[in-house]
Amino acid sequence: MTNALRFVLNPGPPEFAQPLDRWSDLVLRQEASLRSGFHLTIYRCPDSWAGSLQDLIASDALNSSGKDPFGPGLEIDNPTDQQQRRLVCKALIPSFNPASQWLEVYELEQPDSANSAVRRVDCLPLQEASNDTCWFYPTEDGRYLSWENQQTISCHPGHVFEQLDRGPNHCYDRAELRVLWSLMADQSNLTCVGLTYQHRRIDFPLLGSKPGTTATWTTFQVDSMSESPLRNLDSVVI
């Protein structure tokens, strides 16, 4: 059943007097409610590099696009073997506040149909869901470079990214929903980074995005033996 479930974020309680009947209704609802996110890319700095962000700016290697500054002219969407070793993280993280957000869960009657009928199976305030934690940032000692860009986005309703087949008789269970939190860089407070179901990430496929006009590049050091294992070294807004 997992592949038939769809998840819709809502900034407030849904209007039960106006039920959503088709897949197209869910798409419109999700487009209107999830509108922002931030793109995070992390590279491992080459061992031989001892420069600074200002050095990268001076050599025109650093810009707002998020391209690998250590591989001029190469696109991070199609990384080479060398880039793949440097690329630690590349993620678009939806921005929403679980304290004020509701989650609607629907089942598609015909998952393979372009506009399937849908049935609501659950609706809950996200603050009632269980919580879980993850870690986006690297833990291996070394020097790293991160790129962040706030974006305007529109998304399809969510689905379980990696299907887990538990048989045709397995029913939806609210207890298997989790709100996922992570510490970002050297921040002391957790940030909501998404949702999971059955320990599998709920993905909200991107319909469109508009990058912000500026981006933040940060260099940081990971030292597992230090009292502060992750330490920001420098940051610049481009």
Q: What is the pLDDT of residue 170?
A: 66
Cα(41)–Cα(68) distance, integer angstroms: 9
Do residues 138 and 53 make contact, with C-beta atoms less than 8 angstroms apart?
no
CA-closest candidate to residue 143, choices 53, 41, 46, 40: 46
Q: Could you tell me if 108 and 156 are in contact, meaning their C-beta atoms sit under 8 angstroms apart?
A: no
The total of other beta-carbon atoms located within 10 Å of residue 69's CB is 22
pLDDT at 75: 43
End-to-end CA distance of the chain: 46
Task: Specify the pLDDT at position 82.
Answer: 56
Residue 80 pLDDT greater than 80, yes or no: no
| pLDDT digit string, tens, across residues 98-125 | 999 999 999 998 877 778 889 999 999 9
Q: Where are the alpha helices (DSSP H) in the chain?
A: 23-33, 53-58, 81-86
Cα–Cα distance, 67 to 38 (Å, whole number): 16
The amino acid present at 74, given as its one-letter code, is L
* Confidence (pTM): 0.83
Which pair of tokens denotes residue 96? Answer: 């929403």
C-alpha of 210 from chain center: 16
Encoded tokens for 109: 């009657």
Report the C-alpha dihedral over residues 191, 217, 41, 32, rounded to 10 degrees. 60
pLDDT of residue 39: 95
pLDDT per residue over 164-200, tens digit each? 555 555 689 999 999 999 988 888 899 999 999 999 9
Give CA angle at 222 (195, 150), nearest 5°: 45
- Write down the pLDDT at residue 168: 55
Highest mean pLDDT among 12-26, 83-97, 108-122, 204-218: 204-218
Q: Return the higher-pLDDT residue of 117 and 17.
A: 117
Q: Which residue ranges make up each domain of the chain?
A: 2-237
- For residue 197, the model assigns a pLDDT of 96
* DSSP characters over 179-229: EEEEE-TT-SSEEEEEEEETTEEEE--EEEEEE-S--EEEEEEE-TTSSSS
Query: Considering the chain, what is the average pLDDT of its residues?
Result: 87
Q: What percent of the chain has pLDDT over 70?
A: 88
pLDDT of 173 reads 95
Predicted confidence at residue 13, as pLDDT, reads 82
